[in-house]
Structure 1
Amino acid sequence: MSKAISQVPMAVNEPVRSYAPGSAEVKSLLATYKAMWKEKAEIPMIINGKEVQSSEKVRLVSPQDHQHDFGFYYKGTMQDVDSAINTALEAKENWNNLGWEQRAAIFLKAADLLAGPYRDRLNAATMIGQSKNVHQAEIDSACEFIDFLRFNVEFMTEMYSEQPVSDEGIWNRTEYRPLEGFCFAVTPFNFTAIAGNLPTCMAMMGNVVVWKPSDKQILAAKVIMDILTEAGLPAGVINMIFTDGKETAEKVMAHPDFAGLHFTGSTSVFQGMWKMIGNNIHKFKTYPRIVGETGGKDFVVVHSSANVDAVATGLVRGAFEYQGQKCSAASRAYVPKSLWPKVKETMEAQLKTVKMGSPEDPSNFINAVISQGSFDKCKGYIERAEKSADSSVIMGGKCDDSRGWFVEPTVILTTNPNYESLCEEIFGPILTVYVYEDEKWSETLKLVDQTSPYSLTGAVFAQDRYAIAEAYKALENASGNFYINDKPTGAVVGQQPFGGARASGTNDKAGSKMNLMRWVSVRSIKETFVSPKDYKYPYLG
């Protein structure tokens, strides 16, 4: 155990590489992409630090070319879930007893490994398995994950240093213990950084974890485990399993030592898990912590004083980067009648220059959606909009799944403020626009607030400060992350802690100390130096 009060290196956000055409960094990344594309990856589960295979192999295909398989993963059984839980619990005592500086060093080393020798490999894995272009992969799987690792170490030390005041003759202390039991991390396909952060932030606080990544993100998940292993993470602290989601949840959430859920995914799945936890509440040794970030129907509301070019750019970037498969993506926009013609014209001009295709070509702004199911869902919304009496497809709309699952950036214009694509989460490159009368600004703000059950991100574009202030107040509960004159995506660790409320989750703010507080159990300690020797207080005379 350390005999020093250590200070960790100051966290700063990882610089985003530009990957300019012809640069050494883009050549290096694309060379790694091409090499990994040809590999036939064989991806086992990792339980107790060992590779675990099974009799069932599941083919891995790339969204941009579903005819090409780049390997397979071994699908586990409920016996593997039991093994992962038991292994985690066996590892718990040694991991809990390890000094916090030693834990911090592991994750700081992981950040440096990712920033250096593993950067191309994790970015390329994200490009192949999740169809992200070079920029989207860089800001996600490299920079954001590095930021999570480094800033969480800093947040951890800040938390540990927060101590109560002490009165004369008394020393008061606060101890931040890991949760009693094991934690369960369930991560999505769309952000490699989220897949890395959810299990590691819990482990950093001394917890042991069973991690179930999305089956669409398994290639990048494997690289994450490779990084953590090389960084020195002890066996059993994080156990990665590839098992049936519903069966796994039922087993995990019936275990008496289940202590916490860290989840990112769909609202319906999260609500189902919460109900499962409630039904089993009498079985647990401790009340489990439940942290979830689920989805959004994120808005952009435009005032008549807004800058047209800024609005159009915010909509194109906010709605269509990573094919709209961000829980923060702009999916509904409210534009005043006076500005709409110019906004429409500018958006059309920008979208005409947008290229769509494989991430292997860095000039492609749009890539494939994640799966056939996602493709079919997007196509359905587009086809219904084309047939509807109160909506029309005014930009994009073409879909092609002959080789990859490609959906053009699509803009639907509707006259119905309750039209389905204006209200329902789609998770694809589809933006729905509602044009309102300029004088109905205040009414439109109420509409924005009441249309969706979600409350994740939102943006207002205006130059009029009174309009900004009005939107700021009227929409205070409509989003957990609110943007003024910017797109509603791109939260940065340490700068814009991320999360939303209502149907969007528990708003525990990943990328901040607030989230880490959920993974500790606080103990208050009072030590009296000279104890009383008589029960009588002065008032007794």
Structure 2
Amino acid sequence: MSVGFFQVPFPQNEPVKEYRPGSPERASLKAALAEATSTVRDIPMYIGGEEVRTETKNPIVAPHNHQQVLAYYHEGDAQHVERAITAALNAKEAWAAMAWEHRLSIFLKAAELLAGPYRAKINAATMLGQSKNAYQAEIDSACEMIDFLRFNVQYATEIYQDQPRSSAGIWNRTEYRPLEGFVFALTPFNFTAIAGNLPTAPAMLGNTVVWKPAIQQVYSAQVLMEVFREAGVPDGVINLIYVDGPLAGEVIFQHADFAGIHFTGSTKVFQTIWKTIGENIGRYKTYPRIVGETGGKDFVMVHESADAKAVATGLVRGAFEYQGQKCSAASRAYLPFTMWEEVKNYMLADLREIKTGSVEDFSNFVNAVIDERAFDKIAAYIDNAKNDPTIEVVAGGTHDKSQGYFVQPTILLTQDPLSVTMCEEIFGPVLTIYLYNPDSFEETLELVDQTSPYALTGSIFAKDRYAVELAARKLSNAAGNFYINDKPTGAVVGQQPFGGSRASGTNDKAGSALNLMRWVSPRVIKETFVTPTQYSYPFLANE
């Protein structure tokens, strides 16, 4: 066989299509939506080389029309978790031994499939199953997923190329082995790209994976699995199961071969997982890698030198795109009271134009929240705020779940910077604003830093560079992704690797080599060409 140090195709961010009226991508997407809604899909689990179906079939409904059944998925139980682990372990040796260039080429092919023949299908599935509009689906399930695959291939290559120095007569080298055991990928509903990245990033490095997506994302997860299989991911490398989370954890976290978890979800769940792993630490062959991105209470800090229209646009987009169901969504903002009327008027003008409704109507900017549980939680925050005398409902404040789980974009103005909606993650289209005295800018920065246990994203709007510098310094630990004169959402793979610390996670930066390094176990090899045959050293000689 031929051997070489191969250069992979240099990654470029996938261009975002606009879906303007009359464009070919709009026509293609509408056709994919029509095809998807014309049939009710049957969605099996994928364990080893098998499509696994069970007696328990559950419906998947469209959040914006909960009478519309999109598919039925086959729910598994503990024995399916065990089977998935066994399949992953059985596939491990051959997958880890495969030459790295062949392993990585599979994922480059997956990127090309998503960029081409599967683009409309994955976007349509994300739109229907997760209630995303065409643009939000495009930047997620198409572009970001493609970017994760292409850039991670590049990062993996860079990791393999990083080698130690060697002195005279010695050759030092490093092998980047996969972890010993299997990796558990536990993925969220809100981003198809995150759901796809969490199992594929470890797999690129030779790991085998048990993947449990959020039930609300199963519809698009199945399309991703279809892509992975067509791209050539071998049987057993990525095993897709639909089981209850605690049930899966009960099996996985007690297994001796559990080697790591790649997680995105709630802080409470992640803390429970960490505790469970600690309680079982004596069971494992190795110390498991724990990589997680969790919640956020993301801020926008505004200095009086900021442009009011830019602030208003950043807040509307940052808070209400995808119904605020982004870990990075702007959910608390601090404005100087001198700017409030101007910013408010711009925001209200935007909200008067914004339409809410089904994803199939491309004129709707806002769609439904993911399910009834989320709807009820968000509605309760809004209704409680209405009864709080220190809070004014500036916009929105209404909600209706009769047909779909719709919550109108809501702006709250609070007199208390520590009110509930300024502190707790809501995960919905609710923005709370606190007005401060512009003379208290530095003190307000301290308030921003201390208000929330999270540290995921945040931004500063200011033309005054001294203000920008002060905010960046004072808020250095308040956000893992910090934006200057921009909304705190929309991280791009290869440009803004994503992740936060404090209660927001382990900050292992998805979309960078930092994340991929967590999925290797290096072995350093020292080869001595002429081996010493005498024990003594020169210093032992007599004078």
Superposed, which structure 2 residues align to 1:107-122 within 5 Å? 107-122=107-122
Q: Where do 1:156-171 residues align within 5 Å?
A: 156-171=156-171
Contact 1:2-1:99 at 8 Å conserved across structures: no
Question: What residue in structure 2 maps to residue 389 of structure 1?
Answer: 389
Aligned to 1:510: 510
Deviates more, 1:522-531 or 1:510-519: 522-531
Q: Which runs of 5+ in 1 are unaligned?
A: none
Distance 1:415 1:179 in 2: 51
Residue 495 (structure 2) pairs with residue 495 (structure 1): yes
Give the match's secondary structure for 2:341. helix
Two-structure CA RMSD over aligned residues (Å): 0.6
CA deviation vs aligned residue, 1:420-479 (integer Å, no higher than 9, x gap): 000000000000000001111011000000000000000000000000000000000000
Tell me whether 1:223 sits opposite 2:223 in the alignment: yes
Q: Which amino acid aligns with 1:38?
A: S
Report the Cα offset of residue 400 of structure 1.
1.1
Please give the alpha-carbon distance, in whole angstroms, between the structure 1 residues aligned to 2:295 and 2:312: 24
Deviation at 1:37, TM superposition (A): 1.3
| TM-score between the two structures when normalised by the length of structure 2 | 0.99
| 2:462 corresponds to | 462
Aligned length: 541
Deviation string for 1:161-206 (max 9, x for gaps)?
0111111111110110000000000000000000000000100000
Query: Which residue pairs with 2:416 in the alignment?
Result: 416
Does the CA-based 8 Å contact 2:148-2:197 persist in structure 1?
yes
Deviations 1:325-351 (A, max 9, x none): 000000000000111110111100111
Alignment partner of 1:535: what SS? coil
Distance across 1 between alignment mates of 2:236 and 2:279: 28
In the TM superposition, 1:105-504 aligns within 5 A as 105-504=105-504
Letter of the 1:256 partner, please give it.
Answer: A
Q: Describe the SS at the equivalent of 1:338.
A: helix
Q: 2: CA distance between counterparts of 1:302 and 1:38?
A: 48
Contact 1:19 1:134 in 2 (8 A): yes
Letter in 2 for 1:355: K
- Partner Cα distance (2:317, 2:22) in 1: 24
The answer to whether residue 59 in structure 2 is matched with residue 59 in structure 1 is yes
* Partner SS, residue 521 of structure 2: strand
Q: How does 1:90-105 map to 2 (within 5 A)?
A: 90-105=90-105
Aligned partner of 1:433: which letter? I
Q: Is contact 2:88–2:237 with CA below 8 Å preserved after alignment?
A: yes
Please tell me whether the aligned partners of residues 77 and 247 of structure 2 are also in contact (alpha carbons under 8 angstroms): no
Distance 1:118 1:234 in 2: 20
Give yes or no for the alignment of 1:532 onto 2:529.
Answer: no
Secondary structure, aligned partner of 1:506: coil
Q: Which amino acid aligns with 1:178?
A: P
What does the per-residue CA deviation read over 1:206-226, in whole Å, with 9 as the maximum and x for residues that have no partner? 000000001000010000000
In 2, distance between residues paired with 1:39 and 1:398?
33
User: Structure 1 CA distance, aligned partners of 2:147 and 2:49?
Assistant: 25
Measured in 2, the distance between the counterparts of 1:281 and 1:398 equals 48
Once the two structures are superposed, what CA deviation does each residue of 1:126-145 show, in whole Å capped at 9, x if it has no partner? 00000000000000000000
Normalised to the residue count of structure 1, the TM-score between the two structures is 0.99
d(CA) in 2 for partners of 1:256 and 1:224?
A: 29
Q: Distance in 2 between matches of 1:348 and 1:372?
A: 28
Residues 302 and 335 of structure 1 are in contact (CA less than 8 Å); yes or no, is this contact kept in structure 2?
yes
- Equivalent residues in 2 for 1:34-49, closer than 5 Å: 34-49=34-49
Letter in 2 for 1:81: V
User: Is the contact between residue 337 and residue 437 of structure 2 (CA under 8 Å) also seen in structure 1?
Assistant: yes
Give the secondary-structure state (helix, strand or coil) at the position aligned to 1:184.
strand
**Partner SS state of residue 521, structure 1:** strand
1:297-342 CA-to-partner distances (Å, cap 9, x unmatched) read 0000000000001000000000000000000000000000111110
Q: Distance in 2 between matches of 1:82 and 1:372?
A: 31
Distance of 2:443 and 2:460 partners within structure 1: 15
Partner amino acid, structure 2, of 1:128: L
Amino acid at match of 2:516: L
Deviation at 1:492, TM superposition (A): 0.3
Matches of 1:136 and 1:364 in 2, distance apart? 12
1:49 Cα deviation (Å)? 2.2
Q: How far apart in 1 are the matches of 2:513 and 2:482?
A: 19
Give ranges in structure 2 of 5+ residues lacking alignment. none
Query: Identity over aligned residues, as a percent?
Result: 62
Partner of 1:216: helix, strand, or coil?
helix
SS in 2 for 1:497: coil
SS of equivalent residue, structure 2 residue 518: helix
Deviation at 1:2, TM superposition (A): 4.6
